[in-house]
Structure 1
Amino acid sequence: MGNFKVTLDRIEGSTAVLLLREEESIKLSIPLFLLPPESKEGDILNLSIDRDVQETEAAKERVSALLDKLKNKNKETE
């Protein structure tokens, strides 16, 4: 899906409730600070969600390195 439009339905405290434009029964709640400062109820917003392959791989490598470190530490204490 990647890019889509939402309506800023309402603001509840520090949370923005967004409705997906094609199917207005689908709601997204996100922190208000993520929206442009001038956003107000009724505004149509463009959202983009992209997969970050490089960051995903970097995170997997960090976790793998930590697991290896823990496994080696456990072998030393046996």
Structure 2
Amino acid sequence: MGNFKLTLDRIEGGNAVLLLRDEESIKLNIPLFLLPSGSKEGDIFDISIVRDDQETEAAKERVSALLEKLKNKNQGK
């Protein structure tokens, strides 16, 4: 389930409190600036969450390279 319908319940300061449509006891707090301009209480949003396998793999490779660099640096001392 990577697609969700949420209702903008309220705005608290710079945060939006969204409720999952099917289970309104589940809240999601996000910065208000992430919502479309002009969003207001009662608006319904369709949100998708998709894993980015390519970006995940690239991040793993960057971290691995940094760890290897640190490991080699520490062995040189």
Q: What TM-score do the two structures reach when normalised by structure 2?
A: 0.98
Local SS of the residue matching 2:71: helix
Where do 5+ consecutive residues of structure 2 fail to align? Answer: none
Give the aligned residue type for 1:39: S
Where do 5+ consecutive residues of structure 1 fail to align? Answer: none
CA shift at 1:12, angstroms? 0.3
1:16-55 to 2 correspondences below 5 Å: 16-55=16-55
Structure 2 distance, partners of 1:48, 1:16, is: 17
CA shift at 1:7, angstroms? 0.3
How many residues align structurally? 77
Q: Where does structure 1 differ by over 6 angstroms across 4 or more consecutive aligned residues? A: none
**Overall identity of the aligned pairs, in %:** 79
Local SS of the residue matching 1:40: coil
Q: What TM-score do the two structures reach when normalised by structure 1?
A: 0.97
After superposition, the C-alpha distances for 1:16-66 in whole angstroms (9 at most, x for unaligned) are 000000100000000000000021000111111110001000000000000
